[in-house]
């Protein structure tokens, strides 16, 4: 496949559509970038060669023009000396170099157009390459995020499958039971002073109840004697 055919295929390609259909988008974008980079190197090399050839042609055109003018001067000199025969020969050489200069000029125009086309192609391809590299960066980023997400999900599933969560809940329940038992112990071990005051209150209540009972009995006995 020629360099220009590859270039046209690359420029006309729809990267998004190709990636959407690809089984392995990352691999495809890497191959596309490699193809673009190789093509870009070739186009730049061709452009550099064309520019070098253009400079050679420019020098050849200038040299041919200089020689044409030189022979024209010689023809004028020959005429001034009455040597028409030499003047004719000088004019023949002058025309020959003038024709060469015109030929080089036409070739130079073609080369200039070719160089301009190369430069436009390089600009387009570099722009396409930047877009492809950005696509690659986004794909790699998405791939990394996907891997992290998958590892997180696998870790969650692994914890579920090994009963780690259940073990944690069991450990939490054990702590709660221990805390409850500690509360019961604390409840059973009230301060001694508080216990004494509670005993006094109980004694007072019993004494009050006893006096009430005695009073009631005395009242009943009095009523019987009346």
Say if CB 28 and CB 145 are below 8 A apart: no
Q: What is the pLDDT of residue 67?
A: 97
User: CA-CA distance, 119 to 43, in Å (whole number)?
Assistant: 9
Give domain limits for the chain.
Answer: 3-162, 195-226
pLDDT for 7 equals 47
What dotted CATH number matches 3-162?
1.10.287
Cβ count within 10 A of residue 65 = 17
114 CB-near residues (< 8 Å, 6+ apart):
50
Match 């805390």 to its residue by tokens. 179
Nearest to 19 by CA among 124, 131, 151, 123: 131
Q: Are 81 and 121 in contact (CB under 8 A)?
A: no
- Say if CB 99 and CB 70 are below 8 A apart: no
Query: What is the pLDDT, as a whole number, of residue 188?
Result: 53
Work out the mean pLDDT of the chain and round it to a whole number: 80
DSSP state of 1: -
Task: Count Cα atoms within 13 angstroms, Cβ side, for 120.
Answer: 8
- Which residues of the chain fall below pLDDT 70? 1-23, 159-168, 171, 182-193, 195, 202, 221-226
Q: What is the rounded CA–CA span in Å between residue 33 and residue 42?
A: 14
**Measured distance CA(46)–CA(4) in Å, rounded:** 11
């Amino acid at each position: 496949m020629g360099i220009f055919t590859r270039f046209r295929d690359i420029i006309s390609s729809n990267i998004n559509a190709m990636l959407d259909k690809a089984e392995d988008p990352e691999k495809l974008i890497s191959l596309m970038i490699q193809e673009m980079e190789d093509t870009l190197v070739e186009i730049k090399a061709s452009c550099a060669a064309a520019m070098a050839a253009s400079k050679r042609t420019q020098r050849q055109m200038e040299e041919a023009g200089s020689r044409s003018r030189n022979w024209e001067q010689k023809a004028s000199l020959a005429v001034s000396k009455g040597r028409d025969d030499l003047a004719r020969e000088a004019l023949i050489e002058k025309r020959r170099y003038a024709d060469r200069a015109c030929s080089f000029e036409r070739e130079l125009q073609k080369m200039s157009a070719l160089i301009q086309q190369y430069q436009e192609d390089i600009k387009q391809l570099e722009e396409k390459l930047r877009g492809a590299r950005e696509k690659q960066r986004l794909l790699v980023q998405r791939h990394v995020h996907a891997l992290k997400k998958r590892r997180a999900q696998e870790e969650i599933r692994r914890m579920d499958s090994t009963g780690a969560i259940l073990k944690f809940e069991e450990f939490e329940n054990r702590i709660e039971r221990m805390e409850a038992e500690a509360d019961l112990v604390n409840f059973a071990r009230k301060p001694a002073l508080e216990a004494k005051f509670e005993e006094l209150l109980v004694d007072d209540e019993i004494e009050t109840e006893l006096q009430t009972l005695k009073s009631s009995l005395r009242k009943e006995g009095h009523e019987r004697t009346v």
